[in-house]
Amino acid sequence: MTIQLGDTVPDFTAATTEGEINFHDWLNGQWAVLFSHPKNFTPVCTTELGDVSRLKPEFDRRGVKVIGLSVDELANHDQWADDIEQTQGHRLNFPLIADADRKVSTLYGMIHPGADDTMTVRSVFVIGPDKTLKLSMTYPASTGRNFDEILRTIDSLQLTAKYKVATPVNWKQGEDVIIVPSVGDEEAHERFPEGWTTLRPYLRIVPQPGE
C-alpha cells in the first residue's frame, strides 16, 4: 500500500510495550510520529531508539506522540529495552509496536522487497491531528535517521498549520519564514500587521510568528 500526503492514515489494532492500542484512538487528535525499525537487537536501531528516548521531552513540548514499530515478538522488546538503556543511556519511554505478523508494516508499505522482503525499511510518518499524513521519509536499513531533522520538519509543519507560512531552505527555529502564496496581501496585512519584506510578489519574507 502506498500512503500519500493528505491521506487519512490506516487504522489498526496492535500489541505494544505499553499495552494493546487502536491506532486512531491512540492518536486522540494529536500530532504523532510513527517510525519503523528493521528488527530488534540490531545496532543502528538501538542507537535510534536511545536517541528518540532522549528527545522525548522535545516531542512532548510540541504536543507530538511518538510510537515505534519492530517486526519482532513483544516478548523480545523488554530485553532490547535493557540493551538500549545500558548502551545509549536512555531507557525506552514510548510505545513500541510488536509487528511479528507484518500486518502494520504491510498496511503502511514499510517493507520494500527490493531492499529486504522480511524486514522493514526505516520509514517515518508524521501525522496531523486530523489523522492525515503530513510528511513521510524512507531511509535504508543501514542509515540511521537524524531525529533533530524530524523535529525541525515538525516545527515547520506546525507553523504552516497555525500561521499559513512556509519555511525556506535550511530553515531553523526562530528564523524568518515565507508567507504562503495562497494568502493575499489583504489577508497578510491582517495576519502580519507589522509588515513583511517583498523580494518578489510570490516571495514575501516575515519574521517567524509566535516568537
Q: Residue ranges per domain, the chain?
A: 13-145, 164-206
How many CB atoms sit inside 10 A of residue 115's CB? 14
∠ Cα 98 101 103 (to 5°) = 85
Measured CA to CA in angstroms, residue 94 lies from 15, 32, 50, 51, 54 at distances of 13, 12, 11, 12, 11
The pTM for the full model equals 0.91
Q: What is the pLDDT of residues 78-122, one digit of tens each?
A: 788 888 899 999 999 999 998 888 899 889 988 765 544 445 558
Candidates 2.60.120.200, 3.40.30.10, 3.30.565.10, 3.40.250.10; correct CATH number of 13-145?
Answer: 3.40.30.10
Beta bridge partner(s), residue 179: 165
Nearest to 3 by CA among 116, 128, 125, 149: 125
Q: Domain 164-206 is of which CATH architecture?
A: 2-Layer Sandwich (3.30)
Q: What is the pLDDT of residues 21-74, one digit of tens each?
A: 999 999 999 999 999 887 777 888 899 999 999 999 999 999 999 999 988 777
Active site residue 46: no
User: Active site residue: 9, 32, 45, 104, which one?
Assistant: 45
Question: What average pLDDT is seen over the chain?
Answer: 90
